[in-house]
Amino acid sequence: MTQVGHETARALLRRLAVEQAECRVPSLTAAIVRDGRLAWFGGRGRVGDGAPTAATQYRIGSITKSMVAVVVMRLRDEGLLALTDPLERHLPGTPLGHLTIAQLLSHTSGLTAEPPTAWWERTAGIPAGELLDRLGPGELKHRPGRRFHYSNVGFALLGELVARLRGTTWLKALGAEVLDPLGMRGTTARPRAPHATGYAVHPYADVVQIEPEHDADAMGPAGQLWSTPYDLARWAAFLGGETGGVLSPDTLAEMREPAGVADGDAWTAGMGLGLQLARTGGRRLAGHTGSMPGFLATVWADPGDGVGVLFMANTTSGMSGTLLTDLLDILAEHEPRLPDEWHPVPADPDLLALTGLWHWGPTPYTLRLLPERGLSLEPVAGAGRASRFVPQDDGTWLGLDGYYAGETLRVAADHLDLNTFIFTREPYDPAAPVPGGATDWHA
């Protein structure tokens, strides 16, 4: 079960073995996905009478949230809701109905982190109706939209939203629309053999204690699921772009866009729409962490490099926090990705004529032709507003990213009109319709 070389596999396994031994983890599995395929799997420790395998189940905790979020985005794509909709439109009667679906997905609603119940991760859950009855204005800890504040309660509400709009349980909707189409048949709400037992490891002695496991009921969308390394590898491939028709690539890219950050201006940890984000070592990762009593798990995907990585462990705490990035570093060191071969691509003569130097006032920009009839407009100096554009049926161009994302570019014979900004071949070309006019250059 490996697509990497022997030396690479050995280095990866050693890093996994160090983590399991030094962090005292009863059992630990990890996997790497490359170009949508399982490239490496490793397991250490014991589950029952043997070593863990890629078919061994572990509880994945909050990784459940990322899967529920996909169903919500499917509902949006079908026109059954808008991300700007207040919750009241779909769950009438809740005192928190002014919160929007986008705010719940991105943990920017201001909702409390935990429900007004006993410690929900360690006690049997309550039905959704009872949870909704318990939620009041006191559960709102911050002004909606003000800041990132992680909320398990928010995803309980989203799970009930899915149930109402689909006319079934959130779990059945998730299975029919996401898990089954992706072939993730080892992902279930309760454990099935072979599965790891959740343990707490004593901080000062090499002994363990079994942690509880139960049905979280209304809180299930926040962290109920169990899965296997094999299934979580398929999820990593999905997050990297192998969507299998479950979600459009554009919608998945939207989920990976930062909607909130957890650590200030130069952020390294953030949140998209149901997906956690991280910037580390030059990588831009999307995925989710997960923890429940007795279990830790994380899955990341780097769409830019076509790689994903995950671990699953049956311990309440104690992991190093660097295992997955270390595994990615080992892979990059031993088997760096080769760039795709360049080859000529036919170009529309009219588009080819547009390429070259343009000016926003006195500032030079370069317009390049991209594959699939796309355009790229970038400042020559490197710093500034750069965006890519795709053609529209009416002859205009739509901005994909950067400052001009969603804005319209119109092409004329002697200028470009980019949302009222006029770009000309020469700086402030007097023959072009530059607002304010253009005077002679002088000393």
Burial of 36-55, coded b for 16+ CB within 10 Å and e otherwise, reads bebbbbbbbbebeeeebebe
Query: How much is the pLDDT for 264?
Result: 66
Q: Are 109 and 153 in contact (CB under 8 A)?
A: no
H-helix or E-strand spanning residue 374 = strand 374-379
Which whole-number Å values give the CA distances from 203 to 26, 122, 189, in the listed order?
13, 20, 30
The pLDDT tens digits of the residues spanning 55-89 come to 999 999 999 999 999 999 999 999 999 999 999 99
pLDDT of residue 367: 97
Query: Which has more pLDDT, 2 or 295?
Result: 295
The reported pLDDT for the residue numbered 371 is 85
Q: pLDDT value at position 263?
A: 73
Residue 265 is predicted with a pLDDT of: 66
State the pLDDT at residue 382: 82
Q: Could you say which of 3.30.479.30, 3.40.710.10, 3.40.50.10900, 3.30.565.10 is the CATH number of the domain covering 6-334?
A: 3.40.710.10
Task: State yes or no: pLDDT of 369 exceeds 90.
Answer: yes
Q: How many helices (H) and strands (E) does the chain have?
A: 10, 20
Among 50-64, 177-191, 203-217, 259-273, name the one with the lowest average pLDDT.
259-273
Residue 315 predicted with pLDDT over 80: yes
CB 1 within 8 A of CB 53: no
What share of the chain in percent tops pLDDT 90? 91
d(CA 150, CA 222): 11
pLDDT at 325 over 60: yes
Tokens matching residue 131: 């949870």
Indicate whether 1 pLDDT > 70. Answer: no
CB burial readout 115-148, b (16+ within 10 A) else e: bebeebbeeebbebeebbeebeeebbeeebeeeb
Please give the biggest Cα pair distance in the chain. 86
Q: What is the pLDDT of residues 223-268, one digit of tens each?
A: 999 999 999 999 999 999 999 999 999 999 999 999 988 776 678 8
pLDDT of residue 309: 98
* Mean pLDDT across 351-357: 95
The tokens for 331 are 């892979």
Partnered with residue 378 across adjacent β-strands are 366
Q: What is the C-alpha separation between 355 and 348, in angstroms, rounded?
A: 11
Residue 67 neighbours by CB distance under 10 Å: 25
Q: Reply yes or no on whether the pLDDT at 399 is more than 60.
A: yes
Closest CA to 245 of 181, 186, 198: 181
| Bridge partner residues of 41 (DSSP) | 31
The pLDDT of residue 406 is above 80: yes
Q: Which of 18, 19, 17, 13 is nearest to 41 (CA)?
A: 13
Q: For 298-307, what is the mean pLDDT?
A: 96
Q: Quick check: 414 and 353 in contact, CB under 8 A?
A: no
* CB-based contact 130:218 (threshold 8 Å): yes
Q: What is the mean pLDDT of residues 410-437?
A: 93
| Token pair in block for residue 52 | 């863990």
Terminal alpha carbon distance of the chain:
71
At 61 the pLDDT is 98
Give the chain's mean pLDDT. Answer: 95
- Cα 47-203-212 angle, rounded to 5 deg: 50
Tens of pLDDT, residue by residue over 151-162, are: 999 999 999 999
Q: Where are the domains of the chain?
A: 6-334, 350-424
Please report, for residues 75, 127, 181, 186, 229, the alpha-carbon distance to residue 54 in angstroms, rounded to integers and kept in the order given. Answer: 32, 33, 20, 10, 5
DSSP 177: I
pLDDT of residue 439: 77
Identify whether the C-beta of residue 166 lies closer than 8 Å to the C-beta of residue 134. no
